[in-house]
Structure 1
Amino acid sequence: MMGALSDKRPLEQAKLMNSFDHPGLLTNVTLLCILSSILAISTLPCDAMATTLPQENSETSQEPQEPPCCDEAKKPTPKTDDEECCEQKAIQEPKKDENCCEKPTEEEASRATAFIEAPKIADLSVLDQDGQRVQFHTDLIAGKTVLINVFFSTCTTVCPPLTATMRRVQQITKEQHGDAIRIISISVDPANDTPARIKKFGALFGAEPGWSFITGDKPTMDQLLRSLDAATGDITQHTATVLIGNDQTGEWARTYGLSSAEGIAEIASGIEQRAAVFRRLEEAADYFPNNVLVDHDGNSVRFFDDLLRDRLVLMHVLFTRCTGVCPPIIQNLKNTCAILEDRIGPEVVILSLTVDPEFDTVERLKAYHDAAELPDDGWLLLGGEKPDVKQVLTKIGAWTPFKEDHNGWLILGNTRTGDWRKLQAMASPLQIADMAREMLGESEEEATPPTETATRDK
């Protein structure tokens, strides 16, 4: 059988087969072949090696399979800024769900805002970034709208983005309110955060005047943080919320410090706007007397609290026996009422104060009101005891010992905005109505509720 096969083999194969008759030669040749194969494979590139190595299931897979070293899909991809931020946030707060690292929407940020009871903030002696000793409540909080957050200067997670957000908030609020809104950043690492260090930290973010960075000795700072409900046993786990409020109005809120700067600024702006109204009303209350007067229906009313507060008033003087300028002034103001229409009453009130309180009793004022067909709502004729009437009229510059010498001025005032003006009571009804609209915060072309339009301070 061997001979039959030999007749069919090529010459080279026959020579190889003859080597089986010499075992030593076979061994040497075999070792050389194995070594040569190993060296050749080890020097092949990765792609070539992949095609050289035997493949499993070659019948079903025609494509060469790359080994793990050449699998591009398994190489790490660069992280985006959001992913980096998310990983840093994860250090600060445990992951709560699959979407924990998504940036909150405006609606979500607004839901994260909670208006709270006014905190009892400790008035402790602390240091600012300039090394100046200040009383925390007296010097930094009292009479101001403030935003308060906590930080530490070596923080590399939540503090940098939160501080950058506060910087943008400062820019927005300065454009809207000047220096009325302040920012206070309190260190939770007072042992390391010296005034020089926190000043350098603030400078990195471009902090402007009106932004205080606070540190101090640890017992004092711990007490301060407890009063703000911001104490923490681990500085890396400090809160990322911002406390916003005004101690005059007692209006306070907490919101998420990494939400949009515009949203945070809007909360602060609303609190400041309401605080500004409060301050103007307090100033007006200090200026105007609050004497008790009597209206034409016999009701006792306090001049400031019941008549001036929170409304636009048009004030003038008269007396019921007047036959000179008083009747035409009354008619002129009636024509003004026709232009202002439904504004009279809810938002605008006309106050007609008598300069003859001893004669102008409640009955005479009522008869005068009805005879002139004045509106039942939004127009009051006022008298009372002479000392009270005299004090009120003296304050508005309208008292005279001789009733016939009374002035013909119309005083327009809005205690909410602090806007006070004066013009002749016989000015055109259209001019008076336009001025009233302007003081309410609307124009003749576009009437809008006064709460939606900024009014002018004077």
Structure 2
Amino acid sequence: MKKKFFVPLMLIFVLMLSACGGGFKADHKYKVEPFEFTNQNHEKVSNEDLKGDVWLAQFIFTVCTSACPPMMNNMVELQENLQAEGVEDYKIVSFSIDPDVDTPEALKEYMQAFGPPDESKWEMLTGYDMKTIEKLAASSFKTAVKDIPNSDQVLHGTAFGLVNQKGEVVKLYDGYSDVPYDTIVKDMKELIKEGN
């Protein structure tokens, strides 16, 4: 009689352990194409410079009238959550999708207007043409960036991309409305832990 119960109980126990098993699980492995751009401090930043770091990417521009201000607010809130959890080894990379307008100075002022708790983690990138950023967004992050004719606005995706230490986009999250803050913090912590 006892043996009959033993097998199902063992099976349930093993299933529970596997369900509780931690570790980061990637949804994607999109390789970030090589780049070297200019940040808000007029410093060159390349994909190679970011190797070894976990980073969050977003596509924004300073004269955006729709999605970008909420995305910036959400990214700042996410950074506050990361700070509260003691997460330190990461970067936030914002690619301008209006590089003709977004000078390093404009990007720095824009970032500071949202009051991030730690500006040193942010790379606000510009210094390229539209074709370059359209290609990077499509090939590396599987997201659209497109100039709107006769307008100062740009069509773009609103996802936050999580990039691992090898320079691979491993997850994409809603960065505009239903931001999964807890999930992103958890994923970043696990990814950073695995890299140490």
Same fold per TM (> 0.5)?
yes
Task: Specify which of 174, 183, 191 is matched with residue 83 of structure 2.
Answer: 174
Contact between 2:165 and 2:195, CA under 8 Å: does it hold in 1? Answer: no
Q: Quick check: which has more Rg, 1 or 2?
A: 1
- 1:203-232 Cα offsets, whole Å, 9 max, x none, are 110132201111112043333223322342
Name the residue aligned to 1:22. Answer: none
CA shift for structure 1 position 267: 2.5
Measure, in 1, the Cα distance between the counterparts of 2:102 and 2:120: 20
Same amino acid, percent of matched pairs: 24
Code of the residue aligned with 2:132 in structure 1: it is: T
Q: Residues 271 and 205 from structure 1, CA distance in 2 versus in 1: closer, same or farther, beyond 3 angstroms?
A: same
Code of the residue aligned with 1:129 in structure 2: it is: Q
Measure, in 1, the Cα distance between the counterparts of 2:34 and 2:73: 28
Measure, in 2, the Cα distance between the counterparts of 1:279 and 1:247: 7
Structure 1: which 5+ residue stretches go unaligned? 1-114, 281-458
Structure 1 position 222 matched with structure 2 position 128: no
Measure, in 2, the Cα distance between the counterparts of 1:154 and 1:251: 27
Name the residue aligned to 1:269. Answer: 185
What secondary structure, in the 3-state scheme, does the structure 1 residue paired with 2:56 have?
strand
Measure, in 2, the Cα distance between the counterparts of 1:119 and 1:164: 26
Aligned residues: 163
The answer to which structure, 1 or 2, has the higher relative contact order (CA under 8 A, 6+ apart) is 2
Structure 1 position 126 matched with structure 2 position 42: no
Name the residue aligned to 2:161. Answer: 243
Measure, in 2, the Cα distance between the counterparts of 1:224 and 1:166: 21
4+ aligned runs moved over 4 Å, structure 1: 248-251
Measure, in 1, the Cα distance between the counterparts of 2:73 and 2:58: 12
Q: Residues 276 and 149 from structure 1, CA distance in 2 versus in 1: closer, same or farther, beyond 3 angstroms?
A: closer
Q: Residues 250 and 162 from structure 1, CA distance in 2 versus in 1: closer, same or farther, beyond 3 angstroms?
A: closer
Contact between 1:145 and 1:271, CA under 8 Å: does it hold in 2? Answer: no
Contact between 1:145 and 1:244, CA under 8 Å: does it hold in 2? Answer: yes
What secondary structure, in the 3-state scheme, does the structure 1 residue paired with 2:137 have?
helix
Contact between 1:145 and 1:268, CA under 8 Å: does it hold in 2? Answer: no
Task: Specify which of 120, 138, 143 is matched with residue 48 of structure 2.
Answer: 138
Code of the residue aligned with 1:124 in structure 2: it is: F
Structure 2: which 5+ residue stretches go unaligned? 1-25, 148-152
Measure, in 2, the Cα distance between the counterparts of 1:128 and 1:204: 17
Measure, in 2, the Cα distance between the counterparts of 1:268 and 1:144: 15
1:278-317 equivalent positions in 2, closer than 5 A: 278-280=194-196
Code of the residue aligned with 1:120 in structure 2: it is: K
TM-score by length of 2: 0.73
Name the residue aligned to 1:205. Answer: 114
Contact between 2:33 and 2:136, CA under 8 Å: does it hold in 1? Answer: yes
What secondary structure, in the 3-state scheme, does the structure 2 residue paired with 1:166 have?
helix
Across the aligned residues of Structure 1 and Structure 2, the Cα RMSD in angstroms comes to 2.4
CA shift for structure 1 position 134: 1.4
What secondary structure, in the 3-state scheme, does the structure 1 residue paired with 2:146 have?
coil
- 1:324-378 Cα offsets, whole Å, 9 max, x none, are xxxxxxxxxxxxxxxxxxxxxxxxxxxxxxxxxxxxxxxxxxxxxxxxxxxxxxx
CA shift for structure 1 position 181: 2.6
